[in-house]
Structure 1
């Protein structure tokens, strides 16, 4: 078995359980793979790895069924040649499963007590192969390895992989040249073949440099330079946590693979929307996901993420967790975009192509970017602009124009959800000002919480919102304290209304107003705490109120609006009371 024989037809024996044609097929493959080092042969090897593993398993079963090595070699005389070719194929030996089966076959042929010349010669060849495979030269190391032959030494594994990675990286070292002739070969063909050859290596840490080089290769050619199998393998390995990708490599994967980007977005939605988390944890998870940064770098990715958010929100308009995710994502995206704007050539409107152009800049402007005295006028203008859009929709009636109008209204509302900092400022102003000129702010708040009801219930909801606001104004400003029980009962009814024909006011709207009144009113903290605690306990919305308090605290800490130390202390006191009693 020590000398490699010329390729020939395998002898068929009736006793052999292996298919002769299949044996000949795999021997021819092994010979071909070893004759040259080219991307095409690398790709062919990778494509056949799974079937090769199945065949090696058949061989191993066959070896175990034989009474001796001599009998095995008599029935399969070219088995040693076949295994020998595979032992020097770096792609086969770099694949953990193939390598394990290959070495088990070799160990199965080793005779503990050789009884004839064939077995002694086989043992010598097997020892030589195993010794070279383990990259060790002393007999002790060989003996130790052979006792644990099912798992090869890590050192050998690393050396094989490093050699494999180095060879493949050399293939992609050249940049793509512009093709002046159809007969010229584009180097992207080599990159494509290299990415195919990298498929079985994606879960190995030693392959990360090659993966990074492939992902970071600029897309300067009309050809797709990375194979779909490679991108799919990366996405699968990353999703199963078998591969660690960070920074630009992960962004590049998302940019090249739509499915991996969608999976990342849905994974983020599952972690923060379905499972739930605090506003502070939401901010951290969104930023840690790298998605906002990736979207700031690639407009096309932002459009994909926006479409996912848009479609989800159409099915769950009142899902406050989903709204919070969209708002947190947009804030983080705008921060990342601001860092890139000096060197960016993409206009801001390219990121929001479906949004009404007249509303884009006013809504994307942060409250901290203008004087506090200008907030009310800015909000009044926003409210009037949105009202005109809804009125145009209603005037469309049942025509096709109505459908287009509804689309415009939805896109305006979606942009308002993305830029909900102005909704939060509107609620704060409603809690800190008198009854004068409250109409536009209440309309804006109602539109935000009841966008798709259109004209059917808009008037009724606006009336309910005004009723809730007037109740709160009376309780926190005009009423003696402690507040009369009937007024508190009215607030409880607004938060948990009985079944009625007209759809009730969104509880999130009433809770937001209630919390802002408790925080910003001039009542002593003890009085505000008593009112808030009574209402949320009887309404069963303690968790929702605590979430609004946390969001308000986060916004104030980020500089979304001016605030005093008194306001922060009141938020802390209200949070402690609600969470302490609720947990008790």
Structure 2
């Protein structure tokens, strides 16, 4: 056969002949022959999986192995083959490789249905369900088709597995009982092509929240990636706790989710920050970021995005809105479950962090100028400290201030209102726009016009409008003037 010349080690034709010869292993001779060849069959199935995992979908697999359906189908219905856990697992892996998450043609749709029925059969076999010699006769006697029977059986199996995984891990003797890691791993493998089935949602949630005391990850990475992909494409809905657990146990999924959010946001025309806030909330990232490990990863990705876009005002605005939503989510947390601030900002000056984290709405407006002066004084002392004068330290401090841009916007407003002590406000804004300049240069750079301030002014107006609406600030006259300015800028920017 053609595939044997492409991948000679697979010996595809030999094993297909064996599968035909064995049938369903109903004779003593065929049963002995299966047992004799199980180690070599196991090795073959692993080799087949290694080849299939690089093949894109069932159509490509059929082109390379025209009779792969016959081979896998015969092996899946051989009770002596699937009675061996490792063979069953390898067959599941191979079937998962053939599954098309987004079928493009009738062949892939039909193949998905076939794969689904085989996986349902494997779920009902081996260690989960005893094999009955008269299974097919029994099904027909009940008046079911195989598809109906195994569909109902899958629902029962899901309920059974969920119950088993969720039950109290301690028995009456205080001896910990847990499902073997290999079994949990095998279940996660089975779920890969079935993730978007509504019936499977309780099992997905249970698996994501299950750890079992093993120091290593027991869920297969393909399962974690597939769940994340389905969640990002809105094909499944999961509780916040399950999504948070997914991102904590699989950092690649968290990175993909954050980049997916950024892609969504940069494609939105920033005419209203309410829309931006809605998209960010819908991603569940601000809520999940209440866990410091998730916050630090997301924050690092945002930081890199800001660097790669040369400090684009749109990206700054996205970061600031995200930070506000993160603070709201953290504030709504139960006090017992809150992490200390140092867990989120371990390397920063904690008094400065606490000052920046104070929401403007938490202070009377008469205290804003003094609070801004305190922030400016602390920041100035840090920047001028010779022990932390490296560019890295300077950037980290600048980025921290950028995240809490509400206070920068208020500083600009206070300055326009001719505050009593404008020097501190001038220095704070000068540091934000020219962080690498020395103190004198920084002040001079604020009395100098920039080449293009339209985007910065527009972003400032957007953030101010969002703050007024979010916190009920500003009188009607101010809000009306703000909306008129925004309409004019929308036409220019």
TM-score (norm: length of structure 2): 0.70
CA contact (8 A) 1:188 1:223 kept: no
For the aligned residue pairs, the C-alpha RMSD in angstroms reads 4.5
Distance 1:324 1:377 in 2: 25
1:135 Cα shift? 7.7
1:100 aligns with 2:85: no
Structure 2 counterpart of 1:555: 467
Find the residue that maps to 2:215 and give its secondary structure. coil
Instruction: Please give the residue correspondences for 1:379-458 in structure 2 after superposition, counting only pairs within 5 Å.
Output: 379-393=372-386, 402-403=389-390, 406-433=391-418, 437-451=421-435, 453-455=436-438
Query: Which runs of no fewer than 5 residues in structure 1 stay unpaired?
Result: 1-16, 36-42, 63-75, 105-127, 143-151, 468-493, 497-506, 509-540
CA contact (8 A) 2:209 2:242 kept: yes
1:220 Cα shift? 4.3
1:332 Cα shift? 0.6
Distance 1:81 1:188 in 2: 29
What do the CA deviations read for 1:357-405 (whole angstroms, capped 9, x no partner)?
2201111111222222222122122212212222224xx6xxxx643xx
Over 3 Å counting, the alpha-carbon distance change for 1:275 and 1:557 in structure 2 is closer
Structure 2 counterpart of 1:462: 443
Find the residue that maps to 2:218 and give its secondary structure. coil
Distance 2:201 2:343 in 1: 34
1:462 Cα shift? 2.4
Find the residue that maps to 1:301 and give its secondary structure. helix
Find the residue that maps to 1:305 and give its secondary structure. helix
Structure 1 counterpart of 2:179: 187
What do the CA deviations read for 1:459-488 (whole angstroms, capped 9, x no partner)?
344213125xxxxxxxxxxxxxxxxxxxxx
Query: Which runs of no fewer than 5 residues in structure 2 stay unpaired?
Result: 1-10, 26-30, 35-41, 83-87, 100-109, 119-134
1:277 Cα shift? 3.0
What do the CA deviations read for 1:205-263 (whole angstroms, capped 9, x no partner)?
22222111111225644343323232133234444555443533222211221011111
> Which structure has the larger Rg?
1
TM-score (norm: length of structure 1): 0.60
Distance 1:246 1:389 in 2: 42
2:270 to 257, 277, 283: 277
Over 3 Å counting, the alpha-carbon distance change for 1:317 and 1:168 in structure 2 is same
CA contact (8 A) 2:356 2:404 kept: yes
1:303 aligns with 2:296: yes
Distance 1:255 1:322 in 2: 25
1:445 Cα shift? 0.6
Structure 1 counterpart of 2:478: 567
Over 3 Å counting, the alpha-carbon distance change for 1:286 and 1:130 in structure 2 is farther
Instruction: Please give the residue correspondences for 1:509-524 in structure 2 after superposition, counting only pairs within 5 Å.
Output: none
CA contact (8 A) 1:442 1:466 kept: no
1:156 Cα shift? 5.8
Distance 1:356 1:425 in 2: 22
Structure 2 counterpart of 1:255: 248
Distance 1:231 1:343 in 2: 29
Instruction: Please give the residue correspondences for 1:56-135 in structure 2 after superposition, counting only pairs within 5 Å.
Output: 58-59=66-67, 85=78, 97=111, 100=114
Distance 1:18 1:130 in 2: 32
Q: How many residues align?
A: 419
What do the CA deviations read for 1:85-119 (whole angstroms, capped 9, x no partner)?
48x98997997737538999xxxxxxxxxxxxxxx
Distance 1:59 1:175 in 2: 46
Distance 1:302 1:317 in 2: 22
